[in-house]
């Protein structure tokens, strides 16, 4: 059974995760200025990964044995680190 303090801690952690919808990633490139939320970046990465995984399956199903779930989880959870660092520059 979870106690009240643990429950409160988990709720606060979830609230921080949901802030990613409004947390922006920034990039200053020579060509342009690019700005997107962590959520938008994660969604775009998932779409790209799915597209490339489908292409690889069609082009060479015998060559690549990729675990889709692991790839999707990596993309999804790697961005959770940004909740503690709101502005990311790269």
CA distances from 56 to 37, 63, 76 (A): 29, 9, 21
> Whole domain around residue 82: which residue ranges?
4-89
8 vs 24: CA distance, rounded Å: 26
Domain count of the fold of the chain: 1
Reply yes or no on whether the pLDDT at 73 is more than 60.
Answer: yes
The whole-model pTM stands at: 0.62
- Within 10 Å of residue 48's Cβ, how many Cβ atoms? 11
List, for residues 9-55, the tens digit of each pLDDT value: 888 877 877 777 777 766 555 556 667 777 888 888 999 999 999 99
67 vs 55: CA distance, rounded Å: 14
* Closest by CA position to 20, among listed 47, 50, 41, 46: 41
């Amino acid at each position: 059974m979870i106690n009240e303090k643990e429950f409160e801690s988990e709720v606060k952690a979830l609230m921080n995760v949901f802030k990613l919808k409004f947390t922006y990633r920034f990039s200053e490139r020579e060509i342009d200025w690019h700005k997107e939320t962590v959520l938008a970046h994660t969604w775009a990465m998932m779409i790209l990964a799915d597209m490339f995984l489908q292409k690889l399956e069609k082009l060479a199903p015998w060559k690549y044995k990729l675990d889709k779930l692991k790839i999707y989880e990596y993309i999804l959870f790697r961005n959770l680190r940004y909740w503690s660092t709101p502005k990311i520059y790269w």
